[in-house]
């Protein structure tokens, strides 16, 4: 169902890889709600996915950019404004990567060069994106910037590894930069803490199937899907949330406020 929430709004969506990714679903929803956008991803990620299909479906252009390189981001933001015809109303940061996770390195045995690279991609890139947007005055007043995160930033999920630290840093950047963007331009900056979601990145975490099944049994509403996250993101891009900022917003079926559920108790008291 479309509500025309984003009619006339323009933005950039980072991180759409394939049909399973939250950024992909969000792009589809933004298009349905009347918004226009430029798609971007790292050149290497674009070779892995099929972002061109999404661009065709939504009438969007693709501008490759490495989010760890300021010059790439400057080019992206300048070209996006040229293509879209003015300042931006929304930006989605949906980027995360851990070489330690990918290569099976335990948290206590990290390769710290890999850790640094993952931190750069997953968290510092968010600061870089906002810094370029801020310095170029690229955001319209009452614009909205959203990044995706996970509750391992607050609680221990052993196999989430150094991505937990990356997400904690990401959330802190959202608050700190969000203050300055709010004071200067009335721009909102929030993070959405999503249920474990079977995206290409999510499936790379060891024991992911157990992760997702446990969260589903703990949450009174069950796990939020990638589509649910896209729907929630749309509300944050819209004018209906004009004074929601500096928040880490849980889209997790209630998991974050649960201690234990009947299903979990029953599982451990089965005779």
Residue spans per domain, the chain:
10-268
The backbone torsions φ and ψ at residue 156, rounded to the nearest 5 degrees and listed phi first, read -85, 120
Task: Count Cβ atoms below 10 Å from residue 214 Cβ, excluding itself.
Answer: 19
**Which residues are catalytically annotated?**
150, 160
The backbone torsions φ and ψ at residue 240, rounded to the nearest 5 degrees and listed phi first, read -75, -10
- Residues 133, 91: Cα–Cα separation, whole Å: 10
What pairing do the DSSP bridges indicate for beta strands 188-194 and 88-93? unpaired
Q: Are 195 and 250 in contact (CB under 8 A)?
A: no
Average pLDDT of the chain is: 95
- Per-residue pLDDT reduced to its tens digit, 79-133: 999 999 999 999 999 999 999 999 999 999 999 999 999 999 999 999 999 999 9
What is the model's pTM?
0.97
- The annotated binding site for NAD(+) is made up of 15, 21-22, 95, 167
Task: Count Cβ atoms below 10 Å from residue 98 Cβ, excluding itself.
Answer: 26
> Is it the case that residue 209 has pLDDT exceeding 90?
no
**Chain-centre distance for alpha carbon 43:** 18
What pLDDT score does 271 carry?
Answer: 58
DSSP, res 36: E
Residue 153, CB half-sphere, CA atoms under 13 Å: how many?
23
- Per-residue pLDDT reduced to its tens digit, 143-172: 999 999 999 999 999 999 999 999 999 999
Q: How far is CA 216 from CA 3, 211, 252, 258, in A?
A: 29, 9, 9, 12
What pLDDT score does 145 carry?
Answer: 99
What pLDDT score does 78 carry?
Answer: 98
CATH number of the structural domain 10-268: 3.40.50.720
- The annotated binding site is made up of 15, 21-22, 95, 167
Q: Are 132 and 77 in contact (CB under 8 A)?
A: yes
């Amino acid at each position: 169902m479309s509500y025309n929430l984003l009619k006339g709004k323009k933005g950039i969506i980072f991180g759409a890889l394939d049909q399973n990714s939250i950024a992909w679903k969000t792009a589809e929803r933004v298009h349905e709600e009347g918004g226009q956008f430029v798609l971007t991803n790292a050149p290497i990620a674009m070779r892995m996915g099929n972002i061109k299909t999404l661009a065709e479906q939504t009438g969007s252009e693709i501008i490759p950019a490495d989010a760890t390189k300021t010059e790439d981001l400057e080019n992206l933001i300048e070209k996006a404004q040229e293509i879209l015809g003015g300042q931006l109303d929304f930006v989605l940061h949906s980027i995360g990567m851990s070489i330690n996770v990918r290569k099976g390195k335990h948290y206590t045995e990290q390769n710290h060069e890999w850790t640094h690279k993952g931190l750069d991609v997953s968290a510092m890139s968010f600061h870089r994106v906002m810094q370029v947007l801020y310095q170029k005055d690229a955001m319209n007043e009452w614009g909205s910037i959203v990044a995706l995160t996970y509750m391992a930033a607050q609680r221990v999920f052993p196999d989430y590894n150094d991505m937990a630290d990356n997400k904690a840093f990401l959330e802190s950047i959202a608050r700190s930069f969000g203050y300055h963007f709010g004071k200067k331009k009335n721009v909102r900056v929030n993070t959405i803490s999503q249920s474990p979601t079977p995206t290409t990145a999510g499936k790379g975490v060891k024991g992911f199937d157990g992760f997702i099944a446990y969260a589903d049994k703990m949450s009174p509403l069950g796990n939020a899907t990638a589509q649910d996250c896209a729907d929630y993101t749309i509300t944050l891009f819209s004018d209906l949330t004009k004074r929601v900022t500096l928040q880490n917003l849980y889209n997790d079926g209630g998991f974050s406020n649960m201690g234990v559920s009947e299903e979990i108790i029953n599982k451990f008291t089965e005779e």
